[in-house]
Amino acid sequence: MRPINPSKYAIPAVAMTLAKATLVAGALVAIATAAALGEPIEKKGTTPYVTHFIFKPLMSIDISGLGTATALEAVGTTQNMKGEKMLDKMSAHCTALNVASGDKKYIDGACVLADSDGDKIFSTFDTRDLDKSQPKMDCGTHIITGGTGKYKGITGSEPFACITMPAPAGPGGYFAMDIPHNTTWEIK
């Protein structure tokens, strides 16, 4: 009688174990991908969020007794105040013009918010445009004009407040603000 060769039977067992491990790994990847994608984005809603901004003055015109105009760049991140996904953990990048001349004092500009997928929301803002129905949002209003990716077709209004934060350390005239928004938006 011929002796049994154990290696002859071990290879199919190893192959079966590898096949099972591959299936388990595939299932885990599918579960992780589904968890990362989360629930689909809502088509409309009202979202309170705060942007934590650092402002950098880029250039200034300052005529003593007449007025100033300062070009600003602002960068920061967003935080949804209800812990929801919409408008949470997005990067913010804005450009603005700060004007003070006589009784005219305002800041106008535009911002883009980008999420971790690279999808973007674009808005303009005006500190003279106040929503009287939301007196706590007393600093101005963003108007959402559009978006890309999952935000394509988004529009909305974002009354906001301005909360001055301690100045960042170091030179350069940088300043910090928290900007709470109360956003009503819709994706069509």
pLDDT > 90: percent of the chain = 77
Question: What integer best gives the mean pLDDT of the chain?
Answer: 85
Q: Per-residue confidence at 34, pLDDT binned at 50, 70, 90?
A: very low
Q: Which two tokens stand for residue 98?
A: 């700060």
User: What whole-number distance in Å separates Cα of residue 32 and Cα of residue 36?
Assistant: 6
Which of these, 166, 141, 171, 139, lies nearest to 156 by C-alpha position? 141
Contact status, residue 111 vs residue 125, Cβ threshold 8 Å: yes
pLDDT at 16 over 80: no
CA distances from 64 to 67, 69, 106, 131 (A): 7, 12, 18, 33
Digit-coded pLDDT (tens) for 146-187: 999 999 999 999 999 999 999 999 999 999 999 999 999 999
* pLDDT of res. 39: 56
Tens digit of each residue's pLDDT (9 = 90 or more) over 109-134 = 999 999 999 999 999 999 999 999 99
**What confidence score (pLDDT) does residue 49 get?**
98
Q: What is the pLDDT of residue 41?
A: 84
Residue 136 has a pLDDT of 95
pTM passes above 0.85: no
pLDDT for 20 beyond 90 = no
170: helix, strand or coil: coil
